[in-house]
Structure 1
């Protein structure tokens, strides 16, 4: 059986994303995520709740998008992998923590709406660390007829018919 380390969490951001850059110029953003679990105690019929807190890290263009788009309190869906870091404090104590390294982050649309603005693709931008090709998860290009006129695509031929003959346009 292959070693699979993947996790998907849905929760609320506990602190505004913090954007930093490595010495080589790579963007990295971190934020906290609170995941609530609520259940009814069958013996007392009272509702009980447990909250788990996670640190989330993301890289490259996603890090910049997260820092520009998300804020404390936003409900998001995070998909990625768990990674453990260990270090030693100045006093010699050993510390360790497990954090989520995100492959995908999206706002939860269960109780909110959002508007998507597509970024211009940069040359040589492979989509970030561990992103894979992503081709299967991207839909066709151009506006869709049911988008209510809110499409953020520009210059798509066909006047919003959903058909695009422009082969140079990247799929979204």
Structure 2
């Protein structure tokens, strides 16, 4: 097994992902994820915020896998994301000739963290389908969009019919 270090981070995008193309034509998307950790203080019996860490990330397209383009098209500033990838150290030279290095995550997979997105439904309510369909109850659908709250209550518990 090789010496790669893989990380999973959960945080928020600090800006819209930036899509670029290498001279070879390969697409790469760069973005930064802010991770704000908390630590439990036993003496104060409460959670304390730790300094925010900023992780630079890069994602490349690979053949038919359009990871970089998908990230640039589907994610935006302040989206909560979960990122999994390899920790790599990249070296570069500044315009003044100074040699520097930076740690970044080469993204293998990424997804939106839905923990705080949207609205939760009550146990006896089910969301409606986009076309106005019903997800398991026998009554006709009301409204037609995902954001509409159902006005008919199903008589069956659990909401899934």
TM-score by length of 1: 0.62
- Matched residue, 1:167: none
- Matched residue, 2:42: 42
- Matched residue, 1:17: 17
- The CA deviation string for residues 32-62 of structure 1, in whole angstroms up to 9 with x for no partner, is 1011111232233453212111001001111
Q: Look up the SS of the partner of 2:36 in the other structure.
A: strand
Structure 1 unaligned blocks of 5 or more: 114-145, 152-172
- Matched residue, 1:94: 99
- Matched residue, 1:28: 28
2:88 to 73, 83, 93: 83
Provide the aligned length of Structure 1 versus Structure 2. 119
Cα distance, 1:41–1:30 mapped onto 2, change above 3 Å: same
Q: Which runs of 4+ in 1 moved over 4 A?
A: 146-151
Tell me how far apart the structure 1 counterparts of residues 91 and 2 of structure 2 sit (CA, whole Å): 25
- Matched residue, 1:103: 108
- Matched residue, 2:54: 53
1:112 to 117, 121, 142: 117
Contact 2:4 2:87 in 1 (8 A): no
Q: Look up the SS of the partner of 1:6 in the other structure.
A: strand
- The CA deviation string for residues 60-104 of structure 1, in whole angstroms up to 9 with x for no partner, is 111111111101110011111011011222323221101000011
Tell me how far apart the structure 1 counterparts of residues 3 and 127 of structure 2 sit (CA, whole Å): 40
Q: For the pair shown, which has the larger CA radius of gyration, 1 or 2? A: 2
TM-score by length of 2: 0.66
Deviation at 1:2, TM superposition (A): 4.8
Instruction: Give the root-mean-square deviation of aligned CA atoms.
Output: 2.3
